[in-house]
């Protein structure tokens, strides 16, 4: 539209003016309300999809942190093993008080290694648990994304139905809506 008296109408402008002048019909009104509701639900599903994706990334990050900590513990375990091996070698090469000192060191290293191993095992378990949580959240994210896509398809079909006035397209609108809502429920239930 221009300020110099030249007026350009889009296809939707004509429909809006027609509805405003003639009051519209129930078909158009219902389809407009359905489209608005689908847009709202679709926005909620999109938000939930983003939330589950962020949760999956957070769990994946936590898994990497725990895996790194476990790796550090296993390196520490190896260092203690090396010291224990040197102490065992020293036992065979020494006698008397020095030998006794190395035997005590061997026992200390064995005890320290058990504690380190237990801690490393716990960190690996935590890493696997975080990986599993991440996989679950990514699965849920897929559900939300599919639900959102199906509702977007329903909205597009609704617009086509409104423009073409082909009532048989409502079957596709309702079908896509039902599938989208069902998939959204599955996402909500983490299935």
Q: Number of structural domains, the chain?
A: 1
Complete DSSP assignment for 95-155: -HHHHHHHHHHHHHHHHHHHHHHHHHHHHHHHHHHHHHHHHHHHHHHHHHHHHHHHHHHHH
In a domain, 5, yes or no: no
With respect to residue 128, please indicate whether it lies within any of the assigned structural domains: yes
* 147, part of any domain: yes
pLDDT (tens digit, 9 = 90+) per residue, 137-166?
999 999 999 999 999 999 999 999 988 888
| pLDDT tens readout for residues 23-48 | 567 888 888 889 999 999 999 999 99
The answer as to whether 19 is a domain residue is: no
pLDDT at 163: 87
Query: Is there a domain that residue 14 lies in?
Result: no
Q: How far apart are CA 137 and CA 131, in angstroms?
A: 10
**Domain, as residue range, for 51:** 26-188
In a domain? residue 6: no
Query: Does residue 13 belong to any structural domain of this protein?
Result: no
Task: At 143, list the tokens.
Answer: 């559900």
Cα–Cα distance measured from residue 87 to residue 80, given in angstroms and rounded to the nearest whole number: 10
What's this model's pTM, rounded to 2 decimal places? 0.70
Mean pLDDT lowest for which of 126-130, 161-165, 173-177? 161-165
Residue 12 forms part of a structural domain: no
């Amino acid at each position: 539209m221009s300020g110099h008296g030249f007026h350009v109408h889009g296809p939707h402008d004509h429909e809006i003016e027609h509805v405003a002048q003639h009051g519209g019909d129930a078909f158009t009104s219902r389809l407009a309300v359905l489209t608005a509701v689908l847009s709202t639900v679709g926005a909620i599903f999109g938000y939930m999809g983003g939330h589950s994706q962020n949760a999956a990334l957070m769990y994946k990050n936590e898994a990497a942190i725990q895996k790194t900590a476990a790796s550090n513990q296993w390196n520490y375990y190896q260092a203690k093993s090396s010291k224990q091996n040197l102490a065992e070698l020293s036992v065979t090469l020494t006698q008397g008080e020095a030998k006794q000192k190395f035997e005590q060191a061997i026992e200390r290293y064995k005890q320290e290694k058990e504690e380190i191993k237990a801690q490393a095992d716990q960190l690996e378990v935590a890493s696997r648990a975080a990986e599993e949580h991440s996989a679950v959240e990514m699965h849920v994210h897929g559900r939300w994304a599919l639900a959102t896509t199906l509702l977007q398809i329903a909205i597009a079909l609704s617009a086509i139905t409104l423009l073409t006035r082909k009532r048989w397209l409502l079957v596709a609108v309702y079908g896509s809506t039902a599938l989208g809502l069902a998939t959204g429920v599955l996402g909500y239930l983490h299935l």
